[in-house]
């Protein structure tokens, strides 16, 4: 019988916690790039390119796939990469980093609903899902209000954040079959490749090539880029996969619900974004609601 003090399990918890701290901080550091003059469309490909190079160094191996599967990976690159990051980054231009982080925490609920739709009703949605959804939605309202008695923010950012969550849910449904048969590093790298390929034309047709000089002349911009590409995309995906093996998917995914608290704290420390008791209560409601929705 495996003991709870097993060093491998303890290290799995450390890896999962580290990943959530990094991911919760990514929203804030993305805002640093936005403030430096990069647009949402320009941030996406430079982040994906760095992640691909790092993943290639971590696993310099290639695998040929049938045309049908390659097409699925193009969609994965869109929903899990270029479209997802575009929606997420654009949302940050209209609302607080904490709002984006917390609203996207509704993704597990979107995923459950999509799984039910695509299973044609074979996957039941129990009472805990609806109760958890209600609590989470109430939490979103409190977070958006964040101490005010009226909605003082433009709804654009919050709607875009919701769209990003739905995009990630679609990605999660599509990628499930491949995680059971392919190497996790190769899956992630292939997704990053197609995400980059689909993001570049979108960037060139709209905002054009960014001025890359700040990436190498402004240390804050450079650190933000390295943090997002290396830690946020490449390293944490690897650590997250290790945690899956050592803790199981359910236990590992539970750490995701700590992400809103990380973002609230980092946004307050680095950007001076306000935190109200209403926002904190909303964060708790979303966290409790999403966890409750996972119960059978």
- Report pLDDT digits (tens) over 270-291: 767 777 787 778 778 877 877 7
Question: Residue 2 domain-assigned?
Answer: no
Rounded CA-CA distance 25/99 in Å is 13
- What average pLDDT does this structure show over 142-156? 62
Do 101 and 23 touch, CB atoms closer than 8 A? Answer: no
Cα radius of gyration rounded to whole Å, the chain = 19
Question: Residue 145 domain-assigned?
Answer: yes
pLDDT at 295 over 70: no
Rounded CA-CA distance 84/5 in Å is 38
Task: Please give the backbone phi and psi of residue 98, each rounded to the nearest 5 degrees, phi first.
Answer: -65, -40
Question: Residue 139 domain-assigned?
Answer: yes
Do 257 and 76 touch, CB atoms closer than 8 A? Answer: no
**C-alpha 206: how far from chain center:** 24
Specify the pLDDT at position 146.
Answer: 62
Rounded CA-CA distance 296/285 in Å is 19
Question: Residue 234 domain-assigned?
Answer: yes
The token duo for 291 is 């966890």
The three-class DSSP label of residue 242 is helix
Do 87 and 152 touch, CB atoms closer than 8 A? Answer: no
Question: Residue 209 domain-assigned?
Answer: yes
Question: Residue 1 domain-assigned?
Answer: no
Question: Residue 3 domain-assigned?
Answer: no
pTM of the model: 0.76
The three-class DSSP label of residue 119 is coil
Residue ranges making up the domain that contains 259: 10-293
Specify the pLDDT at position 197.
Answer: 95
Task: Please give the backbone phi and psi of residue 126, each rounded to the nearest 5 degrees, phi first.
Answer: -80, 180
DSSP tag of 234: I
Question: Residue 5 domain-assigned?
Answer: no
- Specify the number of domains making up the chain: 1
The highest-confidence range among 105-109, 220-224, 257-261, 285-289, by mean pLDDT, is 220-224
pLDDT at 181 over 90: no
The highest-confidence range among 199-203, 260-264, 283-287, 289-293, by mean pLDDT, is 199-203
Q: Please indicate whether residue 224 or residue 158 has the higher confidence score (pLDDT).
A: 224
Specify the pLDDT at position 124.
Answer: 60
Rounded CA-CA distance 92/232 in Å is 17
């Amino acid at each position: 019988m495996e003991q709870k003090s097993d060093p491998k399990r303890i290290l799995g918890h450390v890896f999962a916690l580290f990943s959530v701290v990094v991911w919760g901080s990514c929203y804030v550091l993305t805002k640093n790039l936005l403030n430096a003059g990069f647009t949402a469309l320009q941030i996406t490909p430079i982040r994906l390119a760095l992640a691909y190079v790092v993943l290639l160094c971590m696993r310099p191996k290639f695998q040929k796939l049938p045309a049908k599967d390659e097409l699925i990976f193009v969609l994965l690159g869109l929903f899990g990469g270029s479209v997802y990051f575009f929606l997420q980054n654009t949302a940050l231009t209209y609302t607080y980093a904490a709002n984006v982080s917390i609203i996207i925490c509704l993704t597990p609920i979107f995923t459950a609903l999509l799984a039910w739709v695509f299973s044609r009703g074979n996957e039941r949605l129990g009472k805990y899902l609806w109760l958890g959804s209600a609590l989470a939605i109430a939490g979103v309202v409190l977070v958006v209000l964040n101490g005010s008695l009226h909605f003082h923010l433009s709804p654009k950012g919050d709607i875009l954040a919701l769209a990003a969550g739905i995009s990630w849910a679609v990605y999660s449904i599509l990628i499930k079959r491949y995680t059971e048969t392919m190497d996790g590093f190769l899956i992630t790298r292939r997704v990053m490749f197609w995400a980059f390929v689909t993001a570049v034309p979108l960037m060139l047709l709209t905002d054009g090539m960014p001025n890359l000089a700040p990436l190498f002349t402004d240390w804050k911009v450079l650190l933000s880029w390295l943090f997002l590409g290396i830690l946020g995309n490449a390293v944490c995906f690897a650590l997250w996969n290790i945690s899956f093996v050592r803790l199981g998917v359910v236990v590992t995914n539970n750490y995701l619900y700590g992400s809103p608290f990380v973002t609230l704290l980092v946004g307050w420390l680095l950007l001076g974004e306000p935190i109200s008791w209403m926002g904190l209560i909303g964060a708790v409601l979303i966290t409790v609601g999403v966890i409750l929705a996972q119960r059978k």
